Structures are given as C-alpha cells and as structure tokens.
Amino acid sequence: MTNDKQIQVMIETLQQKLAANRVSNDGNWRSTLSSSAISTSVSVFALYMADAEKHKATIEKGQEWLYQTMLPDGTWGDSPESPANMTATLLSYAALFATGKPSSKTKDYIDQTLGGSSDDEIINGVLKYYGKDLTFSAPILIMCALAGVIQEWNKIPQLPFELAILPQSVFRFLQLPVVSYAIPALIAVGILRHKMGRKNVLSPLRDLFIPKSMKVLQSHQPENGGYLEAAPLTAFVTMCLCGAGFKEHSSTQKAVEFLVDTVRKDGSWPIDTNLDSWATALSVRALGSDQPYKEKVAEQIKKLAFQYKHPFTGAEPGGWGWTNRPGAVPDADDTAGALVALHILLDGKPCKEIENGINWLLKLQNRDGGIPTFCKGWGKLPFDASSPDITAHSIQAMHLWYDVLPAELQQKCNKSIDRMLKWMQSIQSKEGELVPLWFGDQNSPDESAPVYGTALAVEYLAEIDNKVAKAVVEKGRNYLISAQNKDGGWGGAKNVPSKVTMTARALSALASLGYYNHEKTQAGITYLVNKHNAGDLFQKEPIGLYFSRLWYSEEMYNITFVLNAMNKLKLIR
C-alpha cells in the first residue's frame, strides 16, 4: 500500500480515536494525563497529615500504587513510562517512610544520587539540583522534614511568605525565589518553615504577617480547593498548613476535599486534573474546517474565556486556561490555541472574544519582545521567561484574525509581531534550533526538545509574509531536515530516539511548507505508517513538562499531533 493510501487509513483510525475521546457533541474532548508518582506520593502524605485515620483507605491504595509502579531498583520516574529520577524517588521514599515501609533499594539510590542520606546531603543535593528556583526544592525538603526523613529545619530555605501581601503588580520587581504560579506554596511553605525554624529578634515581627498571608492564600484558592488543578501544589499547601497548626482552616479542608475528589480508582493522581480545553483546541486544529458541531464547539470555547481579573496571577480578562475546571488560570498558549480554534470553527467571522483574546496577548508581551506563559515581566526564573513556541503560537493567532480586526488593533499587532519575530530570531541558534518551554524529551542529554519547538515555529510562521519570519522559518526547516533519524522519524533533538509525537510535529512543519514529495517527508510518513501497522502509534510518550520539570504523557497528543500532520499532508499531496 502506498503512503497516499496509508495516510487515508491513518486518518480514519485517528478520527475514530478522537471521536471516542469526545465527551459530548457540545464541544469538549476528554484529556487523560498519565498518573504521577510525584502527585501520588505528595497527595498520600498530605492526607496522612490531614487525618490519617479518616483517609486510611485512600492512603493505603496510594501506597499500593507506589509499590506496584516502583522500578526494580527501588526508584520511580515522574510517570510509569519515565526513567528514574531523584525527585520522584525522594518524594515517594518520604511518603512511604511516614506512612508505610520504603524499600532498602530506594535508600541505596538516594545515597548514591545525593551522596548520602544525612540531613546535609539531602538538603544540599536537592538545592543543587534545582538551583536558584525554590519553587519545588523548598516544598520537597519541607515534606522530607515533616515525614521525618530529615531533622534539620534551619537549613531548609526560608521563603518570604510576607511578600505575598504586596500588590501583584510589584512581584516582578521583587525577584521572588519561586515562579509566578507558586504563590500558594510560597505562603504555606514559608509559614511552616518560619514556625519550625530557629527564632530570632525578627520572628515576632514575622508572626504579624501570618494572618494577612493566610487571607491571600485563601483568596487564591478556587472554589473546588485545587490550586491550578494540580495535586502536587495543592498537596504541598495542605501538608504545610497541617504542620503549621491550620488543620481545621477552611483552605486546608477545601484542599483536602480536592485531593479526595481527584484520586483515581487505582489510587493514583495525575499531575493535573485534566487538559480538556487544550485537548479541545488541539482536536479542532487537527480536524480542520470540515467537522461537525462547529457552532456548538465554538460556543463552548467562547464561554471559557475569562471574564474577570484573575485573583491568582492578576491576569486581565480575555484569556483562556487549559481546562474548564475552577483551578484554571489564563495563559498565552491556551489563549492562542483557543483563538486559532475559533478561526476554524467560525470560518473567520469575528466576535467580541477574539478582540479580547488578542488584546490579552498583547498586554502579556515581555520587554524582550517574547511572550511568557502567565505573567508579564516574571523572567527571572526559567518557567516565567518568554518562550519561542508560545510566541510563535501568539503570532499565528494574531495573523489569522488580522484582516477583521479594527485598524487600531491591527497597528498594535503589527508592532507587537515585529518585536516577537526579532526576539525569536535573536534566540534561534545558528543551526536553527528553538527550544520550547513546556515540552521536552527525556532521552535528550539536557531533556530539551528543540525539534518540537522548531517544528511549531516553522508551522505557525509558515504563512507570515515577513522577512524576519521567513528567515526564522528557513533556518528552522534546515534544522528539522538535519535532525531526522535514519529510521525516518524524529526525536526531541538530533541523535535522540524517534518518537511518534516528535515525528508528527516535524511532519506538520514540513507539510506547512508544501513538502510532500520531499524524501524527508516521505521517510517520516513511512515511520508513522510502520508505527501504525505495528500497533505502536498510541504508545505513551512522556513529552509534557509541568512546573519544575515534572513529566507527563497525554494520550491526546499522539492522536491530535498525528492527525494534524496527516490532514496537512493530505491537503498538499
């Protein structure tokens, strides 16, 4: 069977898969993230801290999941498909140390990885691993201390929880040691560390800030109790509040309810509840304009645009988040994704949500010209910096809607896009690489995925009639061609094993340039055809990164990425 016929066969298979993951005809697709050892270990320990007897059954089921997913050498990766890492292993060890019985092999791994298991060795090892960013290192060490793995509280970094009472508009000037979306952890971890650490002459003054900081924490908590819909963040806050004497506080109780409500039947938790809105945007893009229920889907997407200033990040109205659940926060990638999806669904007919969404992106632009994820100006730590994949996505969204925008908004877009493109050109490597922020490859030496970031930039900028855009695309194309493996597929970087997700993204980029008969394109198609014929097209591939580089796989990525590529190839062949 020729590649042409195989493409049609794969499209039909993928469409069936996509239909099976649709919640209903009104527009949403179901996202299913992989279960996480990190989420499960911290959630189990948080429930243990909240009420070990009341949550005994849930705790025991979570323990059992950890035992069953432990690798032969006593370690864990972020997801069951991930290789072992220090963070997942140390947190699982701490949870089982307090609530069950960890394997001696796990302790051996910690000794080997951190140079020992004394307080100093664990504390120094964790801090060295995460560097200046205390978003995750401080909570990890706090959990180790609460669990009894370490005893020395004074050597755990003290987070400045009192700064959280200041207006959000000044946060970018404070150079906080945590990223923008970790303010709840800053408060909870900071208060507990203050209470458990050695007192000094300033301690009474710091005590005065606790009530006000707790009010800020309460104002940041969504109605369902889950901060960012993330079990790790919510669990860290829960255990810290329990340890600090706030077990009966309403914020603690709501957080506990969230953890109880989101545990899976097998006793595990995912890294985030779901990515339904993101999965819906990806599905719409993959299906293209010829799809049913377009008006209903569009209405559902429009309803999810934020209509108020977000209490968590201070983001203005107009953006979209990654899920329709209460813990979502507006971000640039999901806003751009929603705008692109609406362009497909509305056949380019404007509505008020479009202007609001584009204005939201414009206001987010950083001084360097790039687009960050959540908050303008928080560029001190990696996960708050401008990102080339998100920037390219924002450019595509503005370009698609440009012709129907008011003249004044068109002018703003022109200036903004010029700055975005110049920034992208300035950070693109000589080889043409653009490294994405929220996606990576665990097999890459530095875990980055320049193939993914470059492919998105090429795909999103392919139709931009701009000299700088064309230069970025040309260099990106050359890099993608040079990065293809001998088996026809692509990994996240050069000389990294091929993956379905990465190959699909690279093929979408080449298809956007009209490269169907190109030998590299045909080799890539053959790689995916072989995967399809072998039944490996939907094999789980950890590709997504959450805060502080936590890995997850998402079954919708294989489906939507490959379908997007196949439909693009079908259009140009």
Q: Tell me the C-alpha distance between 38 and 154, whole Å.
A: 25
**Which run of H or E residues covers position 479?**
helix 467-483
The size of the chain, in residues, is 573
Quickly list DSSP for 196-252: HS---TTHHHHHTTHHHHHHHHHHHS-TTS-GGG-HHHHHHHHHHHHHTT-TTSHHH
> What pLDDT is recorded for position 554?
94
Band (23; pLDDT cuts 50, 70, 90): confident
Fold agreement (3-33+274-572, 37-270): yes
37-270 has which CATH code? 1.50.10.20
> What pLDDT is recorded for position 315?
80
Residue 56 structure tokens: 């005994």
Domain ranges of the chain: 3-33+274-572, 37-270
Please name the fold of domain 3-33+274-572.
Glycosyltransferase (1.50.10)
Buried b (16+ CB within 10 A) or exposed e, 393-423: bbbbbbbbbeeebeeebeebbeebbebbbeb
Is the pLDDT at 312 greater than 80? The verdict is: no
Per-residue pLDDT tens digits for 179-238? 667 889 999 999 999 999 888 878 888 999 999 999 999 999 999 999 999 999 999 999
Instruction: Give the Cα-Cα-Cα angle 481, 484, 487 (nearest 5 degrees).
Output: 145
- In 493-567, the DSSP E strands lie at 544-546, 550-552
> What pLDDT is recorded for position 498?
98
Is the C-alpha dihedral spanning 86, 87, 90, 93 positive or negative? negative
Question: SS3 of 105, please?
Answer: helix
Band (2; pLDDT cuts 50, 70, 90): low
Q: Tell me the C-alpha distance between 529 and 97, whole Å.
A: 47
Per-residue pLDDT tens digits for 407-429? 999 999 999 999 999 999 999 99
Per-residue pLDDT tens digits for 30-85? 999 999 999 999 999 999 999 999 999 999 999 999 999 999 999 999 999 999 99
Q: Tell me the C-alpha distance between 477 and 510, whole Å.
A: 7
* pTM for the model: 0.94
Question: SS3 of 270, please?
Answer: strand
Q: Tell me the C-alpha distance between 39 and 135, whole Å.
A: 15
Per-residue pLDDT tens digits for 382-407? 667 899 999 999 999 999 999 999 99
Q: Which burial class, exposed, middle or buried, applies to 453 when counting CB atoms under 10 A from its CB (0-12, 13-18, 19+)?
A: buried
Per-residue pLDDT tens digits for 454-493? 999 999 999 999 999 999 999 999 999 999 999 999 999 9
Lowest mean pLDDT among 257-271, 287-301, 456-470: 287-301
* Chain center to CA of 572: 32
Checking phi first, is residue 225 left (phi over 0); if not, alpha (psi -120 to 50) or beta?
Answer: left
Share of the chain above pLDDT 70, in %: 95
Residue 52 amino acid letter: A
* Close Cβ partners of 433 (under 8 Å, ≥ 6 residues apart): 450, 453, 454, 479
Is the pLDDT at 1 greater than 60? The verdict is: no
Per-residue pLDDT tens digits for 112-133? 999 999 999 999 999 998 888 8
> What pLDDT is recorded for position 169?
66
- Going from the C-alpha of 454 to that of each of 169, 281, 477, the distances in angstroms are 33, 20, 8
273, 277, 282, 283 alpha-carbon torsion, rounded to 10°? 100
Q: Tell me the C-alpha distance between 39 and 550, whole Å.
A: 10
- The answer to whether the CB of 301 falls within 8 A of the CB of 27 is yes
Angle between helices 519-533 and 555-572 (to 10 degrees): 130
Q: Tell me the C-alpha distance between 459 and 340, whole Å.
A: 13
Is the pLDDT at 345 greater than 90? The verdict is: yes
Is the pLDDT at 494 greater than 70? The verdict is: yes
Per-residue pLDDT tens digits for 137-167? 999 999 999 999 999 999 999 988 998 888 7
> What pLDDT is recorded for position 377?
67
